[in-house]
Amino acid sequence: MKKIELHLHLEGAAPPGFIRGLAAEKGVDLSGIFDARGHYAYSGFDHFLRVYEAATGVLETPRDYARLLAEVLERSAEEGVIYTELFVSPEFCGGGDLAAWRDYLAAMAEVAARMRGQGIDSRGLVTCIRHFGPDRARASARCAAETAGDWITGFGMGGAEAMGRATDFAWSFDCAREAGLGLTCHAGEWGGPDSIRQALSLGVSRLGHGVRAIDDPALIRDLAEAGTVLEVCPGSNIALGIWPDWPAHPIARLAEAGVKVTVSTDDPPFFHTSMRREYDRLAEAFGWGETEFRQINLWAAEAAFCDADTRARLR
Ligand code: ADE
Ligand code: ZN
């Protein structure tokens, strides 16, 4: 089955072996972030973010990011993904400096163009990081606005949802919108309905996760009526302990209530998942088959931050 993925963090998709290889090349000791089997090791979400940022620390140059993107897109293509949107961060790529960001972006866009010829299309969504605060988010938004165009087509926010209010970041979202970028925001992963409503007030068409809307029937109705698309990452939610297992996950209940859900992996090696595994578990837990998977991919095609020709090819 051909798949569309809308929510994949580039650094979070780095295979541990790739990060270990770079660390060895650079003489950096990263042994503390891996378990005995060589997987990323963390306990809880805050620790996950620290391990993620430590792994990201060895990605230092545009060439490192180009190598990473090539590896990630190759793996996605092997999973049957034909189009993917990746969160990329000017914070990690040059510390929010526009000239440096342009160099990283040029290296990544070249890889993306090459991989398009090999059957996997992609777009980059600039992400700011909530726990780094509104000032650093503004620098990311400026980088996004200045480079909006061929490959950069969206803007979003990840990071610790418990830190600050989404509305503290309104300037950055306004700046990105004025540059013509599509908008999405992580909310309703750790935070409840109030956090989701704040994110919606930024004018996003999509939510990263959004699944805790399940606690609020009025919000579910609002999401369904507005056609807000959820970038649901069930394997991530289960690995991080938000729901105990697949049958308990609300994705099927949200879809039955008329909410447009899509399926992504978030940070696949951290959560021991892949797009095939997500689809297999959804089939097992909810009896989903071709009809449901075709529907979620149609919703993903509709919601993708891409041009009309690309969208037509994805449908
Ligand atoms: N960054 C990478 N993965 C994330 C997640 N699941 N939630 C928030 N920020 C993230
Ligand atoms: Zn995410």
- Which of 92, 131, 189 is the best mutation target for the ligand 1 pocket, counting ligand atoms within 8 Å of the beta carbon and taking the most? 189
Q: Of 85, 161, 189, 292, which one is the catalytic site residue?
A: 189
Residues with CB under 6 A from ligand 1: 9, 12, 52, 158-159, 186, 189, 236, 266-267
Identify which of 49, 123, 121 has the alpha carbon closest to the alpha carbon of residue 92. 49
Nearest CA to ligand 1 atom 6: 266
**8 Å CB contact between 282 and 251:** yes
What single DSSP character describes residue 40? B
Kindly give the number of the ligand 1 atom that is closest to the alpha carbon of 186. 8
Query: What is the distance in A from the centroid of ligand 2 to the CA of 207?
Result: 10
Half-sphere exposure in the Cβ direction for 269 (13 Å, CA): 24
ipTM: 0.98
pLDDT average per 10 residues of sequence, the chain (315 residues): 97 98 96 96 97 98 98 98 98 98 98 97 98 98 96 98 96 98 98 98 98 98 98 98 98 98 98 98 98 98 98 96
From CA 153, how far away is CA 138, in angstroms rounded?
17
Query: Which ranges of the chain does DSSP label H, i.e. alpha helix?
Result: 16-26, 45-56, 62-78, 98-116, 134-146, 170-178, 193-200, 217-226, 234-239, 251-256, 275-286, 290-303, 308-314
SS3 per-residue string spanning 241-271: CCCCCCCCCCHHHHHHCCCEEEECCECCCCC
Position 1 scores a pLDDT of 85
> Would you state the structure tokens that stand for residue 143, as one six-digit string?
């980088």
Antiparallel, parallel or unpaired: β 260-263 and 182-187: unpaired
CATH architecture of 3-314: Alpha-Beta Barrel (3.20)
Query: What is the distance in A from the centroid of ligand 1 to the CA of 7?
Result: 10
Residue identified by tokens 């510390």 is: 95
> Would you state the structure tokens that stand for residue 98, as one six-digit string?
């526009």
Give 187's strand partners.
209
Query: What is the distance in A from the centroid of ligand 2 to the CA of 263?
Result: 12
Identify which of 95, 206, 183 has the alpha carbon closest to the alpha carbon of residue 140. 95
At 259, the amino acid letter reads V
Kindly give the number of the ligand 1 atom that is closest to the alpha carbon of 158. 9
Taking CA atoms, 245 is separated from 36, 139, 187, 207, 295, in Å, by: 25, 39, 21, 22, 23
Q: What is the pTM of this model?
A: 0.98
From CA 127, how far away is CA 172, in angstroms rounded?
10
